[in-house]
Amino acid sequence: MAALNVLVVDEFDSEPLLETSLRQHGCEVVTLKLKELDMMQIVRTLNPDVVVLNLYAPNEAVLRTIVDINQNCSLPVVIFAEDQQTETINKVIKAGVSAYIVDGLDPKRIKSIIDIAIARFKEQQALKEELKKTKTQLEDRKLMDRAKAILIKSQGYTEDQAYHALRKLAMDRNIAIGEMAKNVISMAELFNK
């Protein structure tokens, strides 16, 4: 199994506990200080498997960066922090953090916390993909119903005939039936203008 590539962003000047512990577990680690970083650029350049932040409290800039990482890079983000306020916890969860550990920088637990965060992140990604797929199928179903209604009205087809006509047109053109339904709707709208 390939070594886990970890980007550690540390706000503290103390000993590099995270880096040391992760290296002992066979991880490839790059540690940077939090001050004045363009974290998104660094994440894109280094392409880590996980981003780990060690800080007192995540500020608004850090939270925006986490949102950007989730939207653009789709990576698990783990935060070790001191701030245990409910408001902060709600903000980091909303930003998309995979794990937020308060006062938990114990060298024995670091690797397992990161492994769990990665597993949780992968599960969330799978759920997001399933939701996206389901939404697409629902949208295709609505488009097919509209296209069938157009064919029924304009061609005098039954619902079954309209479906088979859509299916045949899609197969003949080697496109998805949802895409063919969009084409039928577009053509009908064009002729009705």
Model confidence pLDDT, tens digit, residues 69-100: 888 888 999 999 988 889 999 999 999 999 99
- Residue 35, domain member (yes or no): yes
Query: How many Å apart are CA 129 and CA 105, to the nearest integer?
Result: 32
Range of the domain at 19: 5-108
CA atoms of 144 and 83, how far apart (whole Å): 51
pLDDT at 13 > cutoff 80: no
Q: Please state the rounded mean pLDDT for residues 128-140.
A: 94
Residue 115 lies in a domain: no
Same domain, 93 and 153: no
Question: pLDDT at position 193, please?
Answer: 65
Within this chain, do residues 92 and 45 fall inside the same structural domain, yes or no?
Answer: yes
Say yes or no: 9 and 85 in one domain: yes
- Provide the pLDDT for residue 163: 93
Do 39 and 91 belong together in one domain? yes
Contacts of 56 (CB under 8 A, 6+ apart): 11, 12, 81, 82, 83
Q: What are phi and psi of 79, to 5 degrees?
A: -120, 125
User: In the structure encoding, which two tokens stand for residue 57, read together?
Assistant: 């409290």
